[in-house]
Amino acid sequence: MPFSDYRTALVTGASTGIGAVVVERLAKQGLQVHAVARNAERLAELAERTGCTPHAVDITDTAALTRTLDGLEIDVLVNNAGVSRSGNILDADEFGIDEQIAVNIQAVLHLVRLIMPGMVERDRGHIVNISSIAAIYNFGGNTMYHATKSAVHTLSRQLRVDAYGRRVRVTEICPGRVETEIFGRLLGDMEEAQRRFYDGYESLKPEDIADAIEYAIGTPRHVNIGHVEILPTFQVPGGLNFERRAD
């Protein structure tokens, strides 16, 4: 569906990284973009730069999210916000599990619940879910991140079923390593994260993900780009481990 068919968009995790670039792109396409994030100061700067409407809201606060969306008609929803915690289920803590469930899947479900019925009624809409290659491939560590992003993967497929017969499109974007602040927040040290995860690597940039989103939204109305896997050229998923034991 070309951009001219849409008037409004909502982007979560909009204050930095992929979210901020997507806000810029959608605003340039002529959409009135509602930018949602917790950081009010960054949102204010983004609004000044792009003309977006800022909403300083914690998406895990369902009541606040519901109030924010009251009366809004959203044509394009970009579920971008996400968090990660290191460690597998053997050393996970209560907060790490609850936080990732709340941000990565619970908030996504509530946003879709609040916004998608209007899309179906108007016979017009596009939902873009940012998951991860962790939704598709298993590798060591970050068990809850894998689990929650896998839930987003399954949800994305299910939403197409739920909207059957209506002109509501759903796109899942599965990125590999993107140079954002997620590892810095994970470690609590942005400089260390830069050294460990990005220096010397040809990682993806937020603009690369925004390119894919812009393409998917801008395709003709009879085209649904359902699943896009984007990795750096030098990053490959997969591998096989086989531990040999004598006992």
**How many angstroms separate the CA atoms of 45 and 3, rounded?**
25
The percent of the chain in helix, strand and coil, each rounded to the nearest 5, is 45, 15, 40
**How many angstroms separate the CA atoms of 111 and 117, rounded?**
11
Quick one: which of 174, 158, 163, 160 has its CA closest to 212? 174
145 is an active site residue = yes
Bridge partner list, 127: 77, 170
The backbone torsions φ and ψ at residue 115, rounded to the nearest 5 degrees and listed phi first, read -105, -40
What's the distance, Cα to Cα, between the start and end of the chain in Å?
60
**Residues in CB range of 68: below 8 A, 6 or more apart:** 36, 55, 57
Tokens of 5: 């068919």
Tokens of 147: 């689990």
**Catalytic residue from among 6, 137, 145, 164:** 145
Bridge partner list, 128: 78, 171
Residues serving a catalytic function are 145
